[in-house]
């Protein structure tokens, strides 16, 4: 994947407002067909970046390449955007709205009709076609909005907090759809605060804080980078004295089972096992991988300090 | 179809299919025609005949009270019946009692009895009959003849002509005034109604957060343009329907009332206006002159070039609307909800209101300096110029004003577009005019 030309390339993008700089030399690449997490605390500049990718506003410096070409106005039909603050015309029938938005994204009337039918059936919302938005619940509206985002088969889908307002069942449905769209070849940018969905879905992330990318890369690599080499050992018996390369940071006993948190300063887990195997019965040995929540908080706090 | 086209289509269709629009479009002409038809109908169906018994104890008013349509005077036979009792049971019947003696120079003591109150028209009729009779008696006492007094009254009418390069044209102040002012008022209403519609539309998109989705598909300028043009189409449709339907209803109603009844109604109107107590000759004359007036207004209207007027109206409506609609859109883009618009709308509504005030001055003097300047300034020109047009406007003035109008709306559209593109994405901030001014210079 790395030898491939990136699908979307953000290059040294700078955007200044009168009193502050929203983006200060932001760069990252997104490979074709990836689910990319765009993370960052509120006010970090995510929305500004998304608006620049959508060509709602222009960057002061830098550029954005789509398939190696600078973005053009015509590219909007290749992009599907679900904003965080999203709404629909209250008095308009949802079927008509979906058609309208699809046509504005460049579909013909006939294509739009066909796509609306397909997606409404897929989400089992055909019966809502003639309803007005004001008659729908918030969750229902979110569904319709998601459908409107992907109607025109965009190659790049940008979802800003897509799960907000969804109940667990519909959130799961949405997740399946996102994976399905990825399998169909779409590239997805996913902006969120919900780190558990990042862990489940994203292959790559970029963490933006104070107008800059502070962390970027493959999710697995990032986790390794943040790993503290801590292992949780569950065992029965008495833990022997360990050599200096291992440090027991914490121990407790629960229902006849002992648990110890051990940091490996040198060597690896196999060496640890060799040392304890003679004295105790090992049940599990588990690497303590930091959650993205921790990584997020740690990175942002470190930067603030 | 271009994106602007798609937006125009939506803006147009959602409004035209709206119940409110349909009701207003049908109701408007009805109201307009009611203004014309109701007086006719009232004259026609006012058969609530009121009977007034006249107990003329003085004997001075024999045959003086003339019955009119809806009002019958009957002399009370001498020999007092118990009329109070019979009056109590009679509807629409009254009793006028004229005392045996009263002071000609201080006439008092006239009384009226009835179960229902005396109408204004009937009261006027009675008092003027009494007054006229008393005046006649006084004249007799002074030794002057009535015909001499009548000959003193002179009827003056001025026929106005306008000198033009091609000769003399019959000009028509009445029709010009009426047409000009009606045009200005309709212009004022339309600019306000449709301007506000644009404002509401923009605020709706912003407060419902549709903007962000839209703006990623279309450029803000296309959005604004589509909305303004779509609503312009709604306005033109409504205007055309109003004119056609109004003419239709009035024509139908007029043909329903046969010429005979119309004659009767004119005569009846003349009578109720208090001509009844004059000599039959004078009555006829007055009726004729009233009919004249009605006819001559239509004739006068014919001397005004109506297609030219309508054409000009459409031009000034379109350019004036475009000019103001852009400003309304800019205001809509700068606020989060409709209640915040008041302060920002102020600078827009002031010129419209000034224009309608100036229009009333211009009617008095359509060629004054005020008239000239206010019909050149694009903000006031649509309303002021439409007042002047029926009076005739020199070609160069009209051309200059039209060029300025086009320039004016292009300029406001440019300004509005710059405000709009910033405003639509700005949330949660109450902006001032100063702030908006800064947006003009953003890149």
Q: Which residue of B lies nearest to A146 if distances are taken between CA atoms?
A: B213
Q: Tell whether B252 and B382 lie within a shared domain.
A: yes
More confident residue, B68 or B326: B326
What residues of A are in contact with residue B219 (Cβ under 8 Å)? 73
**Contact flag A76-B216 (C-beta cutoff 8 Å):** yes
Q: Tell whether B339 and B230 lie within a shared domain.
A: yes
d(CA A127, CA A54): 32
Mean pLDDT of chain A: 87
Cβ partners under 8 Å of residue A278, min gap 6: A240
Q: Tell whether B209 and B62 lie within a shared domain.
A: no
CA torsion sign, B366 to B371 to B376 to B381?
negative
Query: Token digits for A25?
Result: 């030399």
Question: By residue range, what is the domain housing residue A275?
Answer: 228-288
**Contact flag B10-A100 (C-beta cutoff 8 Å):** yes
pLDDT of amino acid B197: 92
DSSP annotation string for B364-432: H-TTSHHHHHHTTSTTTHHHHHHHHGGG---HHHHHHHHHHHHHHHHHHHHHHHHHHHHHTT--S-PPP
CA-based nearest residue to B324, from B401, B408, B263, B262: B408
More confident residue, B165 or B213: B213
Q: Is residue B422 within 8 Å of B439, Cβ to Cβ?
A: yes
What residues of B are in contact with residue A101 (Cβ under 8 Å)? 213, 217
3-class DSSP assignment, residue A68: coil
**Contact flag A90-B208 (C-beta cutoff 8 Å):** yes
- Domain assignment present for residue A3? The answer is no
Q: Tell whether B316 and B371 lie within a shared domain.
A: yes
pLDDT of amino acid A18: 76
Q: How far is B442 from chain A (nearest CA, A)?
A: 9
Residue B213 touches chain A, beta carbons under 8 Å:
yes
Residue B118: other Cβ atoms inside 10 A? 17
Which of residues B122, B152, B182 is at a domain's end?
B152
Name which of B1, B210, B215 is nearest A87 (Cβ-Cβ). Answer: B210
Q: Tell whether B26 and B75 lie within a shared domain.
A: no
Q: Tell whether A213 and A246 lie within a shared domain.
A: no
**Candidates A54, A104, A158, partner chain B, best to mutate (most B CBs within 10 A):** A104
pLDDT of amino acid B276: 43
**Contact flag A86-B212 (C-beta cutoff 8 Å):** yes
pTM of the model: 0.72
CA atoms within 13 A on the CB side of B12: 17
What residues of B are in contact with residue A76 (Cβ under 8 Å)? 216-217
Question: By residue range, what is the domain housing residue B175?
Answer: 3-38+165-439
Which of residues B110, B128, B152 is at a domain's end?
B152
pLDDT tens-digit profile of A136-190? 888 888 888 899 999 888 999 999 888 887 888 888 888 999 999 999 999 999 8
d(CA B372, CA A158): 57
- Domain assignment present for residue B248? The answer is yes
In A186-225, the residues whose Cβ lies within 8 Å of chain B are: none
d(CA B281, CA A8): 97
Q: Tell whether B66 and B134 lie within a shared domain.
A: yes
Q: Tell whether A270 and A251 lie within a shared domain.
A: yes
Q: Tell whether B98 and B232 lie within a shared domain.
A: no
Number of domains comprising chain B: 2
Q: Is residue B429 within 8 Å of A87, Cβ to Cβ?
A: no
pLDDT tens-digit profile of A241-297? 888 888 888 888 887 788 888 888 888 888 888 888 888 888 888 888 888 888 888
- Domain assignment present for residue A184? The answer is yes
As a whole number, mean pLDDT of residues B188-210 equals: 89
**Candidates B8, B197, B210, partner chain A, best to mutate (most A CBs within 10 A):** B210
Name which of B205, B216, B218 is nearest A81 (Cβ-Cβ). Answer: B216
C-alpha distance from residue B259 to each of A57, B73, B160, B262, B267 (Å): 69, 28, 30, 5, 12
pLDDT of amino acid A64: 92
Residue A15 touches chain B, beta carbons under 8 Å:
no
C-alpha distance from residue B186 to each of B182, B190, B243, B380, B404 (Å): 6, 6, 12, 14, 22
pLDDT of amino acid B166: 53
Give ipTM to 2 decimals. Answer: 0.78
**CATH for B53:** 3.40.190.10
Q: Tell whether B146 and B173 lie within a shared domain.
A: no
Sheet containing A79-82: which strands, arranged edge to edge? A79-82, A156-160, A187-191, A35-39, A204-209, A212-218
Residue A81 touches chain B, beta carbons under 8 Å:
yes
pLDDT tens-digit profile of A65-90? 998 899 888 888 889 999 887 788 88
3-class DSSP assignment, residue B205: helix
- Domain assignment present for residue B158? The answer is no
**Contact flag B204-A90 (C-beta cutoff 8 Å):** yes
Percent of chain B residues topping a pLDDT of 90: 19
More confident residue, B59 or B231: B231
Q: Tell whether B180 and B61 lie within a shared domain.
A: no
Q: Which residue of A lies nearest to B206 if distances are taken between CA atoms?
A: A87
Mean pLDDT of chain B: 79
pLDDT tens-digit profile of A221-248? 888 888 888 888 888 888 888 888 888 8
Q: Nearest 10 degrees: CA dihedral of A34, A39, A43, A49?
A: -20
Residue B16 touches chain A, beta carbons under 8 Å:
no
Q: Tell whether B34 and B138 lie within a shared domain.
A: no
Q: Tell whether A117 and A70 lie within a shared domain.
A: yes
Number of domains comprising chain A: 2
What residues of A are in contact with residue B10 (Cβ under 8 Å)? 100
Residue B49 touches chain A, beta carbons under 8 Å:
no
**Candidates A81, A89, A90, A134, partner chain B, best to mutate (most B CBs within 10 A):** A89
DSSP annotation string for A171-221: HHHHHHHHHHHHHTT-EEEEE-S-HHHHHHH-SEEEEEETTEEEEEEEHHH
pLDDT tens-digit profile of A22-36? 899 999 999 998 999
Q: How far is A169 from chain B (nearest CA, A)?
A: 25
CA torsion sign, A267 to A270 to A275 to A280?
positive
What residues of A are in contact with residue B214 (Cβ under 8 Å)? 104
d(CA A100, CA A109): 9
Residue B162 touches chain A, beta carbons under 8 Å:
no
pLDDT of residue B327 exceeding 60: yes
pLDDT of amino acid B273: 46
Q: Tell whether B57 and B93 lie within a shared domain.
A: yes
d(CA A227, CA A234): 20
3-class DSSP assignment, residue B208: coil
Q: Which residue of A lies nearest to B219 if distances are taken between CA atoms?
A: A56
Which of residues B152, B176, B199 is at a domain's end?
B152
Q: Tell whether A15 and A163 lie within a shared domain.
A: yes
In B408-437, the residues whose Cβ lies within 8 Å of chain A are: 425, 427
More confident residue, B16 or B298: B16
C-alpha distance from residue A72 to each of A58, A76, B334 (Å): 11, 8, 28
Q: Is residue B73 within 8 Å of B52, Cβ to Cβ?
A: yes
Q: Which residue of A lies nearest to B13 if distances are taken between CA atoms?
A: A92
């Amino acid at each position: 994947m790395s030898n491939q030309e990136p699908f979307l390339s953000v290059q040294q993008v700078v955007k200044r407002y009168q009193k502050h700089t929203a983006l200060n030399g932001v760069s990252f690449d997104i490979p074709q067909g990836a689910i990319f997490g765009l993370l960052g605390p509120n006010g970090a500049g995510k929305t500004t970046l998304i608006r620049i990718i959508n060509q709602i506003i222009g960057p002061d410096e830098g550029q954005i390449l789509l398939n190696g070409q600078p973005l053009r106005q015509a590219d909007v039909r290749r992009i599907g955007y679900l904003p965080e603050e999203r709404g629909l015309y209250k008095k308009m029938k949802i079927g008509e709205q979906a058609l309208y938005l699809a046509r504005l994204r460049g579909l013909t009337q006939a294509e739009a009709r066909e796509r609306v039918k397909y997606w409404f059936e897929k989400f089992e919302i055909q019966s809502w076609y003639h309803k007005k938005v004001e008659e729908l619940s918030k969750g229902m509206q979110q569904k319709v909005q998601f459908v409107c985002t992907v109607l025109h088969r965009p190659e790049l889908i940008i979802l800003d907090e897509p799960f907000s307002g969804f109940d667990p069942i519909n959130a799961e449905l949405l997740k399946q759809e996102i994976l399905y769209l990825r399998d169909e070849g779409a590239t997805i940018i996913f902006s969120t605060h919900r780190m558990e969905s990042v862990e489940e879905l994203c292959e790559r992330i970029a963490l933006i804080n104070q107008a800059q990318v502070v962390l970027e890369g493959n999710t697995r690599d990032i986790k390794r980078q943040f790993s503290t080499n801590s292992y949780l050992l569950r065992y029965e018996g008495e833990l022997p004295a360990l050599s200096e390369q291992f440090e027991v940071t914490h121990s407790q006993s629960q229902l006849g089972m002992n648990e110890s948190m051990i940091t490996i300063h040198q060597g690896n887990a196999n060496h640890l096992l060799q040392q304890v195997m003679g004295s105790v019965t090992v049940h599990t040995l588990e690497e303590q991988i930091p959650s993205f929540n921790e990584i997020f908080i740690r990175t942002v706090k470190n930067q603030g300090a | 179809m271009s994106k602007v086209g798609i937006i125009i289509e939506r803006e147009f269709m959602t409004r035209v299919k709206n119940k409110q629009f349909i009701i207003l479009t049908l109701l408007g002409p009805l109201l307009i025609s009611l203004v014309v038809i109701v007086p006719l109908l009232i004259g026609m169906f006012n058969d609530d005949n009121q009977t007034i018994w006249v107990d003329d104890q003085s004997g001075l008013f024999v045959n003086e009270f003339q019955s009119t349509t809806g009002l019958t005077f009957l002399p009370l036979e001498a020999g007092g019946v118990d009329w109070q009792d019979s009056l109590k049971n009679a509807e629409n019947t009254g009793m006028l009692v004229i005392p045996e003696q009263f002071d000609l120079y201080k006439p008092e003591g006239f009384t009226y009895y009835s179960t229902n109150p005396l109408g204004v028209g009937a009261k006027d009729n009675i008092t003027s009959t009494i007054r006229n009779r008393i005046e006649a008696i006084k004249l007799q006492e002074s030794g002057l003849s009535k015909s001499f007094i009548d000959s003193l009254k002179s009827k003056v009418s001025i026929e106005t002509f306008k000198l033009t390069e091609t000769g003399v044209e019959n000009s028509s102040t009445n029709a010009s005034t009426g047409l000009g002012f009606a045009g200005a008022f309709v212009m004022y209403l339309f600019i306000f109604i449709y301007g506000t519609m644009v404002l509401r539309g923009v605020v709706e998109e912003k407060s419902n957060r549709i903007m962000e989705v839209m703006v990623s598909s279309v450029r803000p300028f296309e959005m604004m343009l589509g909305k303004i043009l779509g609503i312009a189409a709604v306005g033109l449709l409504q205007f055309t329907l109003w004119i056609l339907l109004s003419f239709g209803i009035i024509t139908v109603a007029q043909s329903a009332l046969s010429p005979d009844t119309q004659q009767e109604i004119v005569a009846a109107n003349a009578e109720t206006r208090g001509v009844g107590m004059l000599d039959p000759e004078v009555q006829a004359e007055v009726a004729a002159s009233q009919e004249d007036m009605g006819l001559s207004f239509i004739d006068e209207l014919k001397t005004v070039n109506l297609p030219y007027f309508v054409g000009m109206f459409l031009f000034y409506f379109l350019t004036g609307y475009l000019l103001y609609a852009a400003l309304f859109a800019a205001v809509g883009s700068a606020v989060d909800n409709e209640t915040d618009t008041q302060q920002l709308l102020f600078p827009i509504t002031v010129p419209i209101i000034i224009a309608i005030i100036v229009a009333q001055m211009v009617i008095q003097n359509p060629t004054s300096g005020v008239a000239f300047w206010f019909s050149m300034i694009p903000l006031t020109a649509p309303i002021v110029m439409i007042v002047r047009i029926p009076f005739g406007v020199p070609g160069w003035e009209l051309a200059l004003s039209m060029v300025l109008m086009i320039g004016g709306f292009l300029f406001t559209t440019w300004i509005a577009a710059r405000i709009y593109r910033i405003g639509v994405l700005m949330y949660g901030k109450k902006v001032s005019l100063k702030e908006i001014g800064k947006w003009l210079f953003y890149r």
